[in-house]
């Protein structure tokens, strides 16, 4: 038998540490926090929970759980704990600071973006149909420290008619049902998390994916146990997509109020999900600059230039006419959300961050989305369920979404209770992903050094 040199052993140890399973950690007992489980149940006051091997292994009341041997204790008295957020609609990779280009789609930029999501408490994000090459799969399978990446890889649209440039060439362009089925088969072989389709003529500028084509996509996807999420604008398209068996919507219907026929179709399909994706509508719904533009936390990840660009984007509502138009549009979207909610439709959280309407506000937008959903009339408790449990279920991320035994320890420690005021989800003291605290101080210092 050949004896291995010492440096071969070192390689062995390093490669084991770098595998997809995070290394074991000593048990930690967290005591005293108000615990929001994420399933809509009443919060547990004065909680205690134990995290061991990166998962929740005990949950109870303070004083009931004994400190395991070798464990450390973390006092969370006065704090609130909620599950980490899941964002089901993003387009990471193209934005880098103020630039927007396919050249930015690199491993380093994707890793930085996943850190930005993590900084604001997001545990996972779906790349919604704009993936390129092997990177999304390599990152999904890897063990980089930020938010988890899930991917629809390349979505499906008519040729050159999906998302606007520079993402336009990412999706498959299809003109026949045979092509559509072949593309779905390729996506199934790569084990995508969802299939994204665009059913939108971009105000008459591009051809819209036709019903025979999306029926073929949906039928082929379901044969492979894959679900299809649609970018949609018009009520008539949403109805036809539901009749074709679509599994979710990446946006609200935005051309008119929803009607009883749509709600009837949704009630027949209780698993269909809807992402309001209000962040993507922010320039159309705000009649004045939002107050959160002044939040110091915005400066943790963004440069002054980024923030000025964001602020300037709200100038369009400066005239009285534009302001009134924005108010009317916002009231229509709020009515739609209220109608969907009253009908028991499953709502999730999406932002479109990284895309044309989403900008470079990774993670921050996921935070603001929750506040906007409350402004639309949902309760903070409903929004927290949508942003955690529902969104994790939509992505079939069984280890995320709630604080429960056996789940991955992905949670946010807050200085104030978001059930009192949803904006308190931004009063972040700590973020834990996979049982480990995110070093937010180091991340912030890195971003500050760049500007
Ligand atoms: Zn999108």
Q: pLDDT, tens digit, for every residue of 189-203?
A: 999 999 999 999 999
The pLDDT of residue 24 is 62
The mean pLDDT value of the chain amounts to 93
- Kindly give the distance from the C-alpha atom of residue 72 to the centroid of ligand 1, in angstroms, as a whole number: 43
The predicted structure's pLDDT at residue 318: 72
In the reported structure, the alpha carbon of residue 89 is separated from the centroid of ligand 1 by a whole-number distance in angstroms of 6
Per-residue pLDDT, averaged over 116-134, amounts to 98
Distance 353 CA to ligand 1 centre (A): 8
C-alpha span between 249 and 231 (Å, rounded): 6
CA 218 / ligand 1 centre spacing (Å): 19
> Ligand 1 centre from 161 Cα, in Å?
13
pLDDT tens column, 194-235: 999 999 999 999 999 999 999 999 999 999 999 999 999 999
Number of CB atoms found within 10 A of residue 451's CB? 11
CATH 3.40.1190.20 fits 24-82+405-450, yes or no: no
Token pair recorded at residue 133:
């090459």
- For ligand 1, the distance from its centroid to the CA atom of residue 280, given in whole angstroms, is 8
Q: How far apart are CA 372 and CA 187, in angstroms?
A: 34
pLDDT of amino acid 3: 43
Q: What is the pLDDT of residue 449?
A: 73
For the segment(s) 84-394, the CATH number from 3.20.20.140, 2.160.10.10, 1.10.3720.10, 3.10.20.30 is: 3.20.20.140
Residue with tokens 């999904």: 140
Ligand 1 centroid to Cα of residue 303, in Å, is 24
- 249: CA distance to ligand 1 center in Å? 11
- Cα distances from 423 to residues 291, 295, 417, 420, 433, in angstroms, run 11, 11, 9, 9, 21
Residue 198 near residue 250, CB atoms below 8 Å: no
Which pairing describes strands 195-199 and 248-249: parallel, antiparallel, or unpaired? unpaired
Mean pLDDT along residues 249-278? 98
> Does the pLDDT of residue 266 top 80, yes or no?
yes
CB 239 within 8 A of CB 262: yes
Q: Which residue has the higher pLDDT, 408 or 304?
A: 408
Sketch the domain layout of the chain as residue ranges: 24-82+405-450, 84-394
The Å distance, Cα 146 to ligand 1 centre, comes to 21
Name 177's bridge partners: none
CA of 130 to the centre of ligand 1 (A): 9
User: What is the Å distance from ligand 1's center to 314 Cα?
Assistant: 20
Q: Which segment of 247-251, 264-268, 285-289, 369-373 scores lowest on mean pLDDT? A: 285-289
pLDDT at 9 (0 to 100): 39
Neighbours of ion ligand 1 (CB under 5 A): 128, 352, 355
- Position 7 confidence tier, pLDDT thresholds 50, 70, 90: very low
Global pTM value: 0.94
Distance 281 CA to ligand 1 centre (A): 11
Cα 358 to ligand 1 centroid, rounded to whole Å: 8
CA distance 364 to 366: 5
User: How far is the centre of ligand 1, averaged over its atoms, from the C-alpha of 289 (Å)?
Assistant: 23
* Long-range CB contact pairs, 95-99, < 8 A, 24+: 95/354, 95/359, 95/360, 95/362, 96/360, 97/303, 97/305, 97/306, 97/360, 97/450, 98/303, 98/305, 98/306, 98/309, 98/360
């Amino acid at each position: 038998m050949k004896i291995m040199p010492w440096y071969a052993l070192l390689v062995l140890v390093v490669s084991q540490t770098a595998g997809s399973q995070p290394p074991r950690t000593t048990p930690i007992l967290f005591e005293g926090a108000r615990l929001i489980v994420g399933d809509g149940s009443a919060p547990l006051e004065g909680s205690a929970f134990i995290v061991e091997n990166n998962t929740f292994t005990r949950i109870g009341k303070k004083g009931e759980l004994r400190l395991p041997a070798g464990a450390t204790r973390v006092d969370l008295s006065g704090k609130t704990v909620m599950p980490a957020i899941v964002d089901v609609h993003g387009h990471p990779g193209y934005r880098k600071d103020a630039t927007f280009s396919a050249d930015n789609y690199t491993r380093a930029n994707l890793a930085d973006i996943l850190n930005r999501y993590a900084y604001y408490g997001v545990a996972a994000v779906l790349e919604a149909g704009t993936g390129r090459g092997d990177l999304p799969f390599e990152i999904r399978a890897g063990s980089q420290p930020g938010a988890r990446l899930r991917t629809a890889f390349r979505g499906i649209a008519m040729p050159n008619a999906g998302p606007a440039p520079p993402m336009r060439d990412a999706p498959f362009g299809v003109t026949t049902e045979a092509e559509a089925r072949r593309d779905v088969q390729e996506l199934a072989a790569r084990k995508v998390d969802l299939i994204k389709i665009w059913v939108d003529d971009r105000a008459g500028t591009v051809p819209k994916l036709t019903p025979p084509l999306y029926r073929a996509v949906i039928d082929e996807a379901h044969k492979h146990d894959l679900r299809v999420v649609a970018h949609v604008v018009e009520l008539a398209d949403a109805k036809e997509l539901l009749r074709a068996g679509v599994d979710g919507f990446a946006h609200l219907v935005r051309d008119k109020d929803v009607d009883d026929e749509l709600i009837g179709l949704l009630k027949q399909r209780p698993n269909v999900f809807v992402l309001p994706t209000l962040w993507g509508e922010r320039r159309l719904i705000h009649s004045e600059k939002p107050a959160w533009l002044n939040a110091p936390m915005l400066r943790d990840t963004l440069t002054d230039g980024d923030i000025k660009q964001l602020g300037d984007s709200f100038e369009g509502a400066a005239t009285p006419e534009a302001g009134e138009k924005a108010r009317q549009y916002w009231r229509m979207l709020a009515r739609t959300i209220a109608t969907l909610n009253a009908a028991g439709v499953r709502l999730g959280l999406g932002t479109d961050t990284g895309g044309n309407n989403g900008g470079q506000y990774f993670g921050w937008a996921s935070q603001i989305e929750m506040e906007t959903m409350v402004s639309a009339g949902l309760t903070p408790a409903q929004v927290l369920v949508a942003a955690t449990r529902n969104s994790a279920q939509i992505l079939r991320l069984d280890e995320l979404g709630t604080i429960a035994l056996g789940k991955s320890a992905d949670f946010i420690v807050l200085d104030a209770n978001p059930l009192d005021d949803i904006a308190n989800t931004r009063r972040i003291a700590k973020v834990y992903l996979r049982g480990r605290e995110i070093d937010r101080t180091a991340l912030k210092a890195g971003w500050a050094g760049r500007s």
